[in-house]
Chain A
Amino acid sequence: MSGTLIFAVTVLGSLGILAAVILYFVARKFKVIEDPNIDRVAAELPGANCGACGYAGCRNFAEAIVAAGTLDGFFCPVGGNTVMKNAGAILGLEAVAVTPQMAVVRCNGSFAHAPQKVRFDGARTCAFAHALYAGESGCPHGCLGLGDCVRACTFDAMFMDEETGLPVVIEDKCVACGACVKACPRGIIEMRNKGPKNRRIYVSCINEEKGSVARKNCSVACTGCGACVKVCKFDAITLDNNLAYIDFKKCTLCRKCVTECPTDAIVEINLPPRKERNQGRELEENIVQTL
């Protein structure tokens, strides 16, 4: 009885020792030498593996930075400047600060502004609806409201507003990864600078049709009248193919264009409510009444 026990322990024990010795030498022989910086940089990255940097995942991004030996052309939009600075500190490199951005939905064709003319009952995906027809409101450039962008967002930063039928970007959650920009078949979503104090002004329309045609489908469409271009003192607004575009690098948030736009196509976000305009309106109304 005890002989069997001793025999088993000896055999298994010696097998274990033999395997350990072999494994030790194999491990020595095939050892992969990896830059320890890769692990350290990867630890700094957010670990979301969203692919916004252009690499398959965070570790690939870390490998690429370490291999390149420079931070030029590399940016993690999710982590932003802090993460890039920390990664740079590990590698002894200087990170150039990039202005933070966020996604902006350039369509204001809500149910109220662009009433539905037909009802779509096909597969609930924008990619299909875009290939099939112009959309429920009839605007061939407007938001289809089927939420491909919301499904593409891996950060839960977007949702469909039931009341307007348009997607909404949650400012605190948006990391500017650009997934929604790629998902939108109509190119409505744009990455724009977050702006000072998160204040932004942009043209909320991408319709390039003639004004009269655009207005038929949507009351807040940009008609390409050019009033905003005239009023802008900073050359920030350009007009191409009946569509105004505000360059966020030049815009100083003076809000003149917002007041000037006859169709309310220019939208201001997070700007304090203004008093003068309302007073002016009341004044005008008073004058009209007295006349």
Chain B
Amino acid sequence: MRTFRLGGVHPEENKLSAGRPIEVLPLPSKVFIPVSQSMGAPAKVKVKKGDRVVVGQLIARGEAFISSNVHSSVSGVVARIDHVTEQSGYRKEAVIIDVEGDVWDEAIDRSPAIDREIRHTPKEIVDRIFQAGVVGMGGATFPSHVKLMVPDGKKAEMLIINGVECEPYLTADHRLMLEKGEEILIGATLMMRGLGVKTCIVGIENNKPNAIAHMSRLAVDFEGIEVQPLRVKYPQGGEKQLIQALTGREVPSGRLPVEVGCVVHNVGTAYAVYEAVQKNKPLFERVVTVTGRRLKQPSNFWVRIGTPVSALLEAVGGVPGDTGKIISGGPMMGKALTMTDVPVVKGSSGILVLPAQESQRMSVRPCIRCARCLRACPMGLQPYLLAQLVEHKEYERAGRERVMDCIECGSCHYTCPSGRPLLDYIRVGKITVGQIMRRRIKN
């Protein structure tokens, strides 16, 4: 069975909520919808305090090229437009809405029937995806419509649908494939049409045999779509790793996947595309896994964007007493939250509650030059060296050693027997080297 060539690690899978169907989370009384929910420029707010909004109404428009629309996820009254604390602890502009009832925009098709008929031109498809504010649901939140516009001189050959979900604990994509498999494949067909490609591969790791069987059965009815099982290895869900695992092609350093003819989208994005194009439904809810070994019932939920994380934690029976960290995302790449009153955003794939014992980092000891990080790095970098260069502020050389190629998967830190915070330093290096490079371009 295929997998990517370089590096990789095998963390414990802990897919606790894999058997739990996705439940609908009850509406919160108030939502906080940040206007910057994708990479790129924040959207411009289009509502005022006191406005009545309905579900699916546009509340902020993405006006820059890399930017995305934001829609109301609830119906009610705009309480205020203010800066609220985001997942990072920094305060960002957000629209705060008091929830009243659940009135949906009339343009949204709410019928449960699956709409298989494709009636839009490629241009209309891309436009609808932009209008609906669809972003990469795997966590990077890159605006999806931008990915479907292939730059001049480049040619896309195939679409890759990412159903890998290599992060331990998370099961949102897995459940989505089981419950909305056909919609995902229709979404993929729409994106193939938008891109003008004839082939599509859905990559799924073989720790989800039921999803592979289900998707393979459905894919028979779709022209050009093939389901490819993959051997489990973290970080297979990384764009470049997945392309290599499925096609054997390697994306050159510093280039985009389209350079090798591939465009990668997550299964969650494919589903959002289906809803946006076929059902005219903007992206205002997503599947979030709430999990952790000490939780009463790890579950998957349909959550409206802007719902506070505390509401999710309540729905699974509260936070156990010995909790050390609450992480937004998976244990490998997620970020620890500093407070639970922060909103769920388009990129939140999971909330992980870790007991104090499991969340503690090892004490830092000196590097013993065992080179485990080198073997683990899926990008073929030298994490020990990069971390040391950054520690000594040798940014020029860190840049030459390709610090910008790091995908921040955390395999190096995971594998380090000395518990060195390698990725922390590499992140500092990426930020600083990025700043230096931008300054150089400007001059």
Contact = CB atoms under 8 A, between A and B. Distances in A.
Interface of A: 117-118, 121-123, 125, 127-128, 131-135, 138, 140, 209, 213
A133 B89 contact: yes
A117 B425 CA distance: 24
Given A128-B425, A132-B427, 11 more contacts: A121-B360, A128-B427, A131-B428, A133-B335, A133-B336, A133-B338, A134-B90, A135-B89, A138-B338, A140-B89, A140-B90
Contacts of B90: 133-134, 140
Given A133-B88, A134-B88, A134-B90, A117 B338 contact: yes
A121 B358 CA distance: 13
Interface string B421-440: 10011011001100000000
A146 B306 CA distance: 33
B119 interface: no
B120 to A, nearest CB: 41
A122 B419 CA distance: 11
Contacts of B339: 117, 138
B369 interface: no
Interface residues of B, number: 20
Nearest to A183: B393
Contacts of A127: 428, 431-432
A118 B88 CA distance: 12
B10 interface: no
A122 B325 CA distance: 13
8 contacts: A128-B427, A132-B335, A134-B89, A134-B338, A138-B89, A140-B91, A209-B83, A209-B91
B361 interface: yes
Q: Which interface residue of A121, A123, A131, A138 has the most chain B CB atoms within 10 A?
A: A123
B88 A123 contact: no
Contacts of A132: 88, 335, 427
A122 B387 CA distance: 13
Contact of A122 (B83, B391, B421): B421
Contacts of A118: 336, 338
Interface in B66-96: 83, 85, 88-91
Interface in B171-221: none
Given A121-B360, A123-B421, A133-B338, A128 B91 contact: no
Contacts of A131: 427-428, 431
A209 B424 CA distance: 28
Contacts of A213: 91
Interface in B22-64: none
A123 B421 CA distance: 6
B425 A123 contact: yes
B359 to A, nearest CB: 9
A123 B424 CA distance: 6
Nearest to A127: B428
B344 to A, nearest CB: 18
A213 B85 CA distance: 10
B283 to A, nearest CB: 26
Interface in B341-362: 360-361
A121 B432 CA distance: 21
Contact of A128 (B338, B360, B361, B428): B428
A210 to B, nearest CB: 9
Contacts of B88: 132-134
B424 A122 contact: yes
Contacts of A135: 89
Nearest to A118: B338
A134 B83 CA distance: 14
B394 to A, nearest CB: 14
Nearest to A152: B393
Interface string B372-414: 0000000000000000000100000000000000000000000
A123 B335 CA distance: 14
Contacts of B85: 134
A272 to B, nearest CB: 40
Contacts of A122: 361, 421, 424
Contacts of B336: 118, 133
Contacts of A138: 89, 338-339
A50 to B, nearest CB: 15
Contacts of A134: 85, 88-90, 338
Contacts of A128: 424-425, 427-428
